Amino acid sequence: MHIHILGICGTFMGGLAALAREAGHKVTGCDAGVYPPMSDQLRALGIELIEGFGAEQMALQPDMFVIGNVVSRARLADGTPKFPLMEAILDAGAPYTSGPQWLAEHVLQGRHVLAVAGTHGKTTTTSMLAWALEYAGLQPGFLVGGVPLNFGVSARLGGGPSVPPAQVKEEPAKRAGDTEQRAQTALHPASRAKLFVIEADEYDTAFFDKRSKFVHYRPRTAILNNLEFDHADIFDDLAAIERQFHHLVRTVPGQGLLVVNGRDAHLSATLQRGCWTPVEHFGGSDGWQCVEPATDAVDPGQPRMVRFAGHDIAPLRWDILGGHNRMNALAAIAAARHVGVAPELAVDALSRFRNVKRRLEVRGTVRGVTVIDDFAHHPTAISETLAALRERVGGGRILAVLEPRSNTMKQGIWKDDLARSLDDAQAVFCYTRGLGWDAAGALASLGARLTAGDDLAALVQAITLESRDGDTVLVMSNGGFDGIHGQLLAALSA
């Protein structure tokens, strides 16, 4: 099959393109400002990329046009279509579909799908889960909205388990003799099914399909990490997002498993709408727990005991920081267990987990100042990222550099919560270009700690002048931030 992908350089669509190419399909694609790193990865796979969305691409005559959600029926100021190729496809009656639907029909069909949903932590948890399954010899396929460092690629088809999951050990519930609990935690026969782990995004599918992407995936194992209001460009309120999450819950079979954050009231409300699948909670007072050491002064590197159903499993020993990442780990361990991986083995795998690009990723250290890149772009994620970094630097100074770039941030939805999320930073630098609200006013409670402006060069200079030996500069954005990381390192060197 020849597919032509509109919007191919996006993380999801680029991953889909790589999967399709690996499966033997002919793949071409187009995007506006065809850009790296995805463009480089795709060209390395032999995928032809075309700049723009011109109607002349109809001459390619693919078997199917796969439409990314960047495409719309929008028109420019002069009345011409913003996406002429889409208009030509519609006029010609040519076959087209969405990326999630194509993936469901041509990749996920017949596999045991493990989906990771939530407002925060999807990419990291998906990567953890894929690595735990890989470490157990199950050779999963995966599609992640980032690049897991243990794999070096964001997507692959995977094979099948090279060995049956003989590592499965007697479950704590069985040792306790609790037959009801045993029924709730029966292992799915992973050795008889190819596995696919997918980051399950709640963003809409396409301009012609406004359901969330994850509705297409039909998982047997689903992680619900957390639920907050986000994506204000497509959701009116939190209830609208809860509705989409419940649509996902409806698709999980009775022999499947829901792994749910036990601390999240919004997820609890979602399940109260109806649930037809066994549930295991993590992070709450029951189910899966990560028990803190019994000491007042906790060393960030000190292991936490993983516990399930009141029984200790194994100590979690790793270099990944933050309580939110320990929650992510619990979710991954629980989901891996559902497909036959012993929790002890999953914990061992996570001790070798190397995280994901742009998750507290050190970009360089110059004159004693360390520059770190992170994807955080929501007040909750910002607060958790700062708390995780505080575990590493102790009493050292953190200089937080923020680009409020997501559609929700640009609309000012979270402006009243932003200052509180930055409390743990000794200095805050906010890049205000493109905002529809007064960032300096919203962050005024930060006082002299705040520098805000829309001149990137001036911001880099201000950060450089403020930095001193021992500081950590934490750059947070869900975009490229105009290459500020390299500019900062160069300025510090000078």
Last residue of a domain, one of 80, 99, 118: 99
323: Cβ contacts below 8 Å, ≥ 6 apart: 384, 387, 388
Whether residues 221 and 318 share a domain: the answer is yes
Instruction: Tell me, yes or no, whether 312 lies in a domain.
Output: yes
Whether residues 332 and 372 share a domain: the answer is no
Whether residues 268 and 246 share a domain: the answer is yes
Whether residues 161 and 202 share a domain: the answer is yes
Identity of the residue numbered 180 = E
Last residue of a domain, one of 322, 350, 378: 350
**Number of domains composing the chain:** 3
DSSP strand pairing (279-282 vs 204-206): unpaired
Tell me the average pLDDT across 44-53. Answer: 92
Instruction: Tell me, yes or no, whether 249 lies in a domain.
Output: yes
Average model confidence (pLDDT) for the chain? 86
**pLDDT tens by residue, 132-176:** 999 999 999 999 987 888 888 889 999 876 444 444 443 433 333
Last residue of a domain, one of 350, 379, 411: 350
Percent of the chain with pLDDT over 70: 88
Report whether pLDDT(428) > 60. Answer: yes
**pLDDT tens by residue, 23-48:** 999 999 999 977 666 778 888 889 99
User: Domain holding 408: CATH number?
Assistant: 3.90.190.20
Tell me the average pLDDT across 433-445. Answer: 86
Q: What pLDDT shows up at residue 366?
A: 92
User: Domain holding 18: CATH number?
Assistant: 3.40.50.720
Instruction: Tell me, yes or no, whether 273 lies in a domain.
Output: yes
Q: What pLDDT shows up at residue 295?
A: 58
Instruction: Tell me, yes or no, whether 104 lies in a domain.
Output: no
Instruction: Tell me, yes or no, whether 355 lies in a domain.
Output: no
Q: Torsion angle, CA of 372/349/339/323, rounded to 10 degrees? A: -40
Confidence of residue 285 (pLDDT cuts 50, 70, 90): confident
Tell me the average pLDDT across 247-262. Answer: 95
Whether residues 156 and 296 share a domain: the answer is yes
Whether residues 32 and 159 share a domain: the answer is no
Q: What pLDDT shows up at residue 238?
A: 80
**Domain limits at 87?**
2-99
Whether residues 91 and 171 share a domain: the answer is no
Instruction: Tell me, yes or no, whether 105 lies in a domain.
Output: no
With beta carbons less than 8 A apart as the criterion, state whether 386 and 400 touch.
Answer: yes
Q: What pLDDT shows up at residue 318?
A: 78
Report whether pLDDT(182) > 90. Answer: no
Whether residues 81 and 124 share a domain: the answer is no
Whether residues 366 and 305 share a domain: the answer is no
Q: What pLDDT shows up at residue 413?
A: 75
Tell me the average pLDDT across 240-259. Answer: 94
Instruction: Tell me, yes or no, whether 477 lies in a domain.
Output: yes
DSSP H helices in 299-359: 323-338, 343-350
**pLDDT tens by residue, 356-385:** 777 778 899 999 999 999 887 788 888 888
Whether residues 286 and 388 share a domain: the answer is no
Whether residues 386 and 342 share a domain: the answer is no
Instruction: Tell me, yes or no, whether 356 lies in a domain.
Output: no
Whether residues 284 and 422 share a domain: the answer is no
